[in-house]
Structure 1
């Protein structure tokens, strides 16, 4: 009851003019209430922060700035004019802070007041900064880990400041190296989560790491900012970033051309196609979609691109990858039917059923994710870290991809792993049948060699190369990266070679049959 009376007493003082000492006292009381373990419901979280903002905006004080701080909150008020040149604000230039607080800072551009001064000519603008050194009031549904548990916020009067050409720079320092962690600059987006008063979003923010212990955020708006932390996979040496990037770009570009050429050749000779060839063409179509969306994913992850566009591309890329995995499994299943059921392989509307499975099932999974939780898609930061003698630097590459680790492990690694395992089993079973046939015939005829190449080309290239993703640890990391990138970026090109091989084999078999028929006629 005493806490409630003190809280409402502070609210009543908002309507009256107060001296600087009184304002400091009232603000300290309110901030101490916010630090106590009261209810963290939606209304209380919004109410606490809004009341604090109103007090700072309506406070009266002498001079150009006012600084107030408690154990876990620091608030600052600045008087600005239309001739604002911009300024930097760091923890070293403020009032003495506890040693336990890590350094932090914000840099505001001169453009900050331009919009307000163009629409009106205010005599004075208020810039307030509120720094929370506890994340109690900013809990999202994912229980995200924040760097130092710091939330740094800023607001200009009662105005909405966004789409700045010159970004606001927010610096976070840590007392230890951040190597091994993926860091992402985010802001608190109100109304972005059900059951919470907001959620963390990277929209409009770009992340940099000038050193191993510093994170620099470039954001085009004012709000409450923080840095999300999550454990990275085994760090990749940054010198590998350029060759891997070029291999991916060249491989995907070649694969796109190869897949497109294969589909065009199939359309040109569609009268000679059968269900097997059409299954191959569906796989080529999924590979074409996968490579195309992958090449676009880096460009669409730029801070200037709307997050909704990146989310749509990420969902499309995920759908293309799941479709590719599914058609790989369909190829393995079809190979099983061809080798295991030589007779009575007819299935009514076989191709239609396979298309529903190959294209419809992945689409259902992606749509379900979009309906349940669309935030699983968006900009994803991949870290390339480097150890040097006296310093550590990190480079980040952003792509539009799956942001949720759970979804990534279940619907990417798990789905792809099951596909690769299934095709490996089919390959082993197919080789066993061929070896049995060879042992019975006692001789390796030319067609048996062709069959061996066909089985290996179809099954290894259609899925088993993705199993390399499960060897990304220890001494296998660097070789696996290059092998995985080469095999799977040139995947469409290898399929094109296999398609040409199959056509050459069909022509050779047709010519052999014609020669056999002509020789039998000559004998008669």
Structure 2
């Protein structure tokens, strides 16, 4: 009996193949079995041809593998299998036993991409840290609610820092804890992204009302409850359903066993779709809202319109476009774009909401003295840091 299991490679992915190189599934998964016998060994090797799923690769190593299950060990293995011939369209494998087979393509990791990723993440973390300091210590217009922006910056800072230092610490217990915490932090950042979009929507909707403008958006306690309670529930339910889904032998992230990765991708897709709808509603209602304002306010209408539209466009980059690139990693160019754009969310947040925001007022002198007091000796370094900030 011979079966081609289309789509199974999504779950039995190349991450189950141990290699120092970057790996990807190069074919569908197939299964070959002799009926009415439990003997999988063969007196002579059997040859079979597997078509490739993607185009030819000149610098990759094509590897024929089979699915091995031995107790708790579940992995792709090359024992008893090897590639005979491989061209741009298919690979001929020979194996001494029958099992479940696939072709995996190994390519050398791009050192330039890893270097760019490290540099970009350090830059992004720096600006996220500056954004958090700005939201905490600077004085703001009392009508501005920065709760969502502060906690968005904070969760992204912690998530990227943990991702940078803990992704490859593949000790069983520690790795599971890191994966679970990363799941919570990244989900929380997405929820805060949604809350920031909701805040923007409520602000634009409030322009239609001729009244004293109150502090924008939802109250702080509701924001905190939604921003941290929602991801905590998702992570708790996910860990309850499949505790082994956190961490793997390759990296401390969610594995693809039984579709567990959708405990992250599912909420992400929902939030991105809702954000897109909210942005469309904002753009749809913005111009009629401004045109219906009273004449006393209409003098500043054009400037306010430009600022809000710019804010919306910047928010679309911060809240969605960078993450959408993560779903399209089929080429080297897209991988570089994802690394650069996604790591610079902190830079966008700092520039849009802090650097170019006229509502930011420098902290009072006693706060400055307190900050500088943490640096012993009143060093020039502290003064330079404050001047740059």
How high is the TM-score relative to the length of structure 2? 0.62
Match of 2:321 among 464, 467, 475: 464
Q: Give deviations 1:268-307, integer Å, cap 9, x for gaps.
A: 2367566621210000011111111110234413xxxx31
Q: 1:425 aligns with which of 268, 277, 286?
A: 277
What's the CA shift for 1:252? 1.6
Q: How does 1:109-508 map to 2 (within 5 A)?
A: 138=70, 147=77, 172-176=79-83, 238=108, 241-269=110-138, 276-301=145-170, 306-342=171-207, 343=209, 350-379=219-248, 398-436=250-288, 445-473=302-330, 477-504=331-358
Tell me if structure 2 keeps the 8 A contact 1:417–1:467: no
Displacement of 1:72 in angstroms is 5.8
Within 2, Cα distance between the matches of 1:259 and 1:279?
A: 14
Query: 1:505 and 1:451, CA in 2 relative to 1: closer, same or farther beyond 3 A?
Result: farther
Deviation at 1:444, TM superposition (A): 7.1
* Alpha-carbon displacement from aligned partner over 1:387-429 (angstroms, at most 9, x marks no partner): xxxxxxxxxxx32111125545422322222222222222222
Query: Is the alpha carbon distance of 1:418 and 1:450 closer, same or farther for their aligned partners in structure 2, counting shifts above 3 Å?
Result: same
The 8 Å contact of residues 251 and 489 in structure 1, kept in 2 or not, is answered as yes
Contact 1:297 1:401 in 2 (8 A): no
Q: How far, CA to CA, are the matches of 1:497 and 1:465 in structure 2?
A: 16
Unaligned 5+ residue runs, structure 1? 1-34, 38-70, 74-96, 103-132, 148-170, 180-211, 215-226, 381-397, 508-524
RMSD of equivalent CA atoms: 4.1
Deviations 1:436-462 (A, max 9, x none): 356677997333222221121123312
Shift of 1:467: 1.5
Partners of 2:287 and 2:350 lie apart in 1 by 27
Q: Are 1:319 and 1:366, in contact at CA under 8 Å, matched by a contact in 2? A: yes
Deviation at 1:488, TM superposition (A): 0.5
- Counterpart CA distance in 2 for 1:361 and 1:145 is 34
How many residues end up aligned between the 2 structures? 290
Aligned match of 1:191 = none
Partner of 1:98: 43
- Give the distance between the partners of 2:100 and 2:251, measured in 1 at CA: 17
What is the CA-CA distance between 1:353 and the residue it aligns to? 1.6
**1:331: Cα distance to partner?**
1.0
Q: Is the 8 A contact 2:128 2:154 kept in 1?
A: yes
Q: Could you say if the C-alpha distance between residues 372 and 134 of structure 1 is closer, same or farther in structure 2, counting changes exceeding 3 Å?
A: closer
Q: Secondary structure at the match of 1:99?
A: strand
Indicate how the Cα distance of structure 1 residues 134 and 375 shifts in structure 2: closer, same or farther if over 3 A, else same.
Answer: closer
Q: Hey, what's the Cα distance between the residues in 1 that align with 2:273 and 2:290?
A: 26
**Change over 3 Å in CA distance of 1:246–1:444 after alignment to 2:** farther
Name which structure has the greater RCO, CA cutoff 8 Å, separation 6+.
2
Q: CA deviation at 1:230?
A: 7.7
Distance 1:424 1:236 in 2: 37
Q: Is the 8 A contact 2:143 2:216 kept in 1?
A: no
Task: Describe the SS at the equivalent of 1:399.
Answer: coil
**CA distance in structure 1 between the partners assigned to 2:313 and 2:147 by the alignment:** 20
Measured after TM superposition, the shift of residue 326 of structure 1 is: 0.9
In 2: Cα distance, 1:177 partner to 1:354 partner: 60
Tell me the equivalent position of 1:113.
Answer: none
Q: Is the 8 A contact 1:336 1:426 kept in 2?
A: yes
SS at match of 2:188: helix
The corresponding residue for 2:54 is none
**Following the alignment from structure 1 to structure 2, what is the Cα–Cα distance between the partners of residues 177 and 422?**
50
